[in-house]
Amino acid sequence: MKKSNILLLIFIAVAIGAVVATISDSSTYVTFEKAEKNPGKVYTVIGQLNRDKPMDFDARAGVFSFYAIDKEGESRKVLYFKPKPTDFERSEDITMKGFATDTAFIADDILLKCPSKYNEQNKLEE
């Protein structure tokens, strides 16, 4: 057998390893309830801002808190230890990467889906 063929086999094995590792590395989108079954484990939750509840940004403590409703309709308090993202109120969906605790969902990272972003609407004032 040629050396190059052996090499190819080794690399195919590495590639398969990469795929398996990626799949185990990739998370799934979950609900708050599922995240709470495993407190401390990092999950990605997609939800929407609960506009009936207060939100508060305490700049000195560096904490932004708000309530989010997940896809199942469950509302939870979310703490985000970073400055309040711009245009937070305008967001449609909020993707939160973080983990559950007894008192609140701690978000490490927040991604917003804004209706205006990249969505070109051709509105002419008549």
Residues that bind another protein (CB under 8 A): 2-4, 7-8, 11, 14-15, 18-19, 21-23, 25-29, 42-44, 54-57, 59-60, 62, 81-84, 86-87, 89-90, 95, 97, 106, 108, 111, 113-114, 116-120, 122, 124-126
**Residue 106, phi then psi, degrees to nearest 5:** -95, 115
Q: Of the two residues 76 and 80, which places its CB atom closer to another protein in the complex?
A: 80
Q: Cβ 75 to another protein, closest distance in Å?
A: 19
Report how far residue 68's alpha carbon sits from residue 78's, in angstroms, rounded to the nearest whole number: 7
Q: Using CB atoms within 10 A of its CB, is residue 123 exposed (0-12), middle (13-18) or buried (19+)?
A: exposed
Residues near 71 by beta carbon (within 8 Å), at least 6 away in sequence: 31, 46, 47
Q: Record the tokens describing residue 110, joined without a space.
A: 């927040």
Q: Cβ 117 to another protein, closest distance in Å?
A: 6
Q: Cβ 95 to another protein, closest distance in Å?
A: 8
Q: Of the two residues 26 and 73, which places its CB atom closer to another protein in the complex?
A: 26
